[in-house]
Structure 1
């Protein structure tokens, strides 16, 4: 029988091996951040080689025989529930990775690095044909990747599990179908309403002053600047570790709210990352659960806090200070402006809470057809525009505001988009629980007292890392199984009141 010391040693050896992999992937993340934020345009060839080498090294360390032996030894030990969960997560990664050749991992990494500047150029020049060849290559590579992992299941289902391993694609399909069925009538009712919400933020806004305002927002919400930074990127994103969780945003001269909402969205991601337990760094217990949970945090802060009337009562003085020409704007005006429904907006990251999900349905349907071979790459612009006209009543004038607007496919991130809607649904469920458990949450938001909310999220979501599967984490946090009821009730109540429905 193994002694306690032997069992502890088995687990520690496994964690030592995993931490090396985690550090390599973290270094790759910083290189990816640099490529999107500040790398010189000519740096792609070297960066592509660097990222490919790191991906290969990480994959080799994860799939080597010694890692399998360390897993076997740890699994035979008597472990606490937390340690057993960490082993479970490493086993899952190991089983998937050992089915994929290192050469394919290198090829995917190299191609995604090369695809980023191609996408940027294609978008800038409004020319999908420039992006199409490398997109087709990425699709072929990701099909191969999925087939290596499990040739007996649809490729898109396998790819989806890279981002949400436990809810299942059938759950995503069911949620998206319900959102489409129940939000479309609400969107139509809003469109037929005679109510005209306030729109006080028209004008030109200096990007440098906008940056100061977004920093005000991050200060107000409680961003830890000692462990983060704010930069600009063509497509806003957040990345990092509990010790270094960075956010990016973008500024448009004529869109004050766009930079604010995207920054608050990325703050949600970063505060989740910063809230992971420091002592578990390098372990699955110190990593985010998955993209559905990650998106729940960004949508929680963007929509349930950042678009709320209490928040605008709190934050509007900062807006007036930075832009004195807006001195006459009231908190109610700002609240209405932040929640206007635009059924003619073709841009996902600028979309309101309701039409946003039609953007996700569109992308989900297109990328699934691409991966399953039911749609040719050359057909994407036409199909995209047709679906947008069908679902949103607007037809993009250009590919730049159509099928080239998102960065995800240049990353090879097929299967990612459904997690945005899953995260929005979960955000509403989490907020309902927080609102029930925190005394006068609206009053605390209006007073700028975000400590209790941070503590609630840390206690119920962040501190657990990957200890729980997604369904179990949701039950632990809210006492209920995952459901769209809270989001649909919230949307109906909020927009019914705004538009007098």
Structure 2
């Protein structure tokens, strides 16, 4: 009887704990909807009220997460006999509680308010091509985030501390090691491509493409891939993103008359994020078991669908007829090989990350990573960012921005205070290759299925191996569960060397 009473007490404690966790989750998702609206639909004049609304939500969330009641519940549950799933929930909430409890509430409020007010300032600075307009706001955000990191752990590198907001388990050392390896091995490959004599059909998408028709095509590609319109929607935003939960996962993209392929790939990319979100277990909504596993894994899903599916020859065998249907006067004579080559062109002079090709993309990430790391560590002054940015682009990509809008103002992330986010783009791309290789081993004739428009086996594999687990596993454990191996960049580097060696007829890479 005593053991039953103890079990009931533990059950009551866990139930009380879960009630608080679900409240936190719902507050977070409410804030997400406010953020989505601010970037997609809110009138420009709404910022003063919206910043206060989001700040109020952040305050309430912080109060619940750091409350004495939450601390007591966590302490009690540490000594209870919990299931593996319950232990995972406690682990994830404990990590967030411990970090948040060290940060003063007034600092949380100020970061939320300043970052909300920063977005229109960033927009104006980009439109006016004037970094000096945004610089004071960026400087304040850097100061606030440094202060946040110092409160969390004054004895560690502040950038390492902030990085763990987006990838808490792989560690910044892994990010540095992977990015260093990508820089070392991709730059020679990019140089070899630029020196090659291969004649790719890179002009296939030249000319102007009506943006309304591009939107119809974006909806076509979402239909083809299996997007659930009952639980999602497509909109436009200055910077494509996706947000939501397993009941409501929305995607955005942007259209330019002379960049139809870029808009299409951005849509496929955001579909990857959304299909991960929609694949999370609905019965676990409100707890970490129903939440995604941080940004490396999230980005692996978007990059897998964008690059390993959307840029594949097999995909274009299926989708090219739909493109021709929408743009018969532009692409009527284009072959599958023409479009495949155009989709995988390695650009000579692209300055914009979200429009970058699959290879040079990672040099964009390296630039941002090195700059934001130095900003947070105090090794770089905000006023010097444009010059350092341009110098690094010249060093790593052989091109130099002519404007701040094409340079250090092109991304929205720093206006959100998201320092430590950028490395996860490359970490996720690396993981995408490792996961896709494992999927190819398990799914017979996956290429043929993609060419036939049968994406269900890949959806099912990803749901089984990644989505359904939510945050039950740490990042490294999830990778081992899905692939049977440790996280590695080997698969990504083998994949790009083989693919681009063949495309550009490079003897040293085939």
Task: Tell me by how many angstroms 1:145 deviates.
Answer: 0.3
The DSSP-based 3-state class of the residue aligned with 2:206 is: coil
What is residue 491 of structure 1 aligned with on the other side? 496
Distance 1:10 1:330 in 2: 63
| Aligned counterpart in structure 2 of residue 254 of structure 1, from 240, 252, 258 | 258
Task: Tell me by how many angstroms 1:66 deviates.
Answer: 0.5
What is residue 433 of structure 1 aligned with on the other side? 438
Q: Does 1:240 align with 2:244?
A: yes
Distance 1:28 1:59 in 2: 13
What is residue 87 of structure 2 aligned with on the other side? 84
Distance 1:370 1:349 in 2: 22
The DSSP-based 3-state class of the residue aligned with 2:35 is: helix
Distance 1:345 1:469 in 2: 36
What is residue 417 of structure 2 aligned with on the other side? 412
What is residue 53 of structure 1 aligned with on the other side? 56
The gaps in structure 1 that reach 5 residues or longer are: none
* TM-score normalised per structure 1: 0.99
Contact preservation (8 Å) 1:348, 1:356:
yes
Contact preservation (8 Å) 1:74, 1:87:
yes
What is residue 36 of structure 1 aligned with on the other side? 39
The DSSP-based 3-state class of the residue aligned with 1:3 is: helix
Distance 1:5 1:73 in 2: 14
Task: Tell me by how many angstroms 1:434 deviates.
Answer: 0.1
Q: Does 1:66 align with 2:69?
A: yes
1:125-140 equivalences in 2 (<5 Å): 125-140=128-143
Contact preservation (8 Å) 1:115, 1:411:
yes
Task: Tell me by how many angstroms 1:464 deviates.
Answer: 0.4
What is residue 374 of structure 1 aligned with on the other side? 379
| Aligned counterpart in structure 2 of residue 460 of structure 1, from 460, 465, 488 | 465
Q: Aligned pairs, how many?
A: 501
Distance 1:314 1:341 in 2: 23
* TM-score normalised per structure 2: 0.98
Distance 1:400 1:197 in 2: 30
1:327-366 equivalences in 2 (<5 Å): 327-366=332-371
What is residue 300 of structure 1 aligned with on the other side? 304
| Aligned counterpart in structure 2 of residue 215 of structure 1, from 216, 219, 232 | 219
Distance 1:226 1:171 in 2: 39
Moved more, 24-33 or 1-10: 1-10
CA RMSD, 1 decimal: 0.7
Moved over 6 A (4+): none
What is residue 173 of structure 2 aligned with on the other side? 170
What is residue 422 of structure 1 aligned with on the other side? 427
What is residue 266 of structure 1 aligned with on the other side? 270
Distance 2:136 2:286 in 1: 37
Task: Tell me by how many angstroms 1:11 deviates.
Answer: 1.4
What is residue 95 of structure 1 aligned with on the other side? 98
